Amino acid sequence: MAIGVGDPLPSVQLTKLTPDGREPIDTADYFKGRRVALFAVPGAYTPTCSAKHLPGFVEKADALKAKGIDEIACTAVNDPFVLDAWAKANDAQGVTMLADGNADFATALGLDMDGTKFGMGRRSQRYAMIVDDGKVESLHVEEPGEFRVSSADHLLETL
């Protein structure tokens, strides 16, 4: 069963790459006491993720922060090195990359998907959510193959 509005995020370890190397991030601590716009992509460097999803959040970062968002974070079932390279390739300053290398977070949320028929293994569904002090304030999950409700523009309209 998928997570829903009002539910607390599960405590799962993600990874962030810093100048000092990999840094484990416990989701319970990371989301505590602030309002975060979190979006998930099926994979770094994939077409829609690179052409639309990530660039939209980079472009709208200031507008989201003006609406009370403290941080913008992206998660994907990739390793932290791939996410860091993808962020650099897209000049994604202002977006924190949180690697979910084993799909533990996506699975704990109930928002994982089976991409094996595309050679991608377990992945995250495409979604965007607002997390306020560790609880889901809003959640927008895409239908397979769609890109509408998880966009930065749509998230801004809902704030």
- Residue 44: give its domain's CATH number: 3.40.30.10
Quick: pLDDT tens for 11-54: 999 999 999 999 999 999 999 999 999 999 998 988 777 778 89
pLDDT for 106: 97
Structure confidence at residue 59 as a pLDDT band (50, 70, 90): very high
pLDDT at 129 over 90: yes
Q: Which domain holds residue 108?
A: 13-158
83 in a domain, yes or no?
yes
6 in a domain, yes or no?
no
Burial 119-148 (b: 16+ CB within 10 A, else e): eeebbbbbbbbbbbebebbebbbbeeeebe
pLDDT at 109 over 90: yes
102 in a domain, yes or no?
yes
Instruction: Kindly tell me the burial class for residue 55, based on how many C-beta atoms sit within 10 Å of its own C-beta (0-12, 13-18, 19 or more).
Output: middle
Number of domains the chain is built from: 1
Mean pLDDT of the chain: 93
8 in a domain, yes or no?
no
Quick: pLDDT tens for 63-78: 999 999 999 999 999 9
pLDDT over 70, % of the chain? 99
Q: What is the pTM of this model?
A: 0.94
141 in a domain, yes or no?
yes
7 in a domain, yes or no?
no
5 in a domain, yes or no?
no
94 in a domain, yes or no?
yes
Catalytic positions, written as ranges = 49
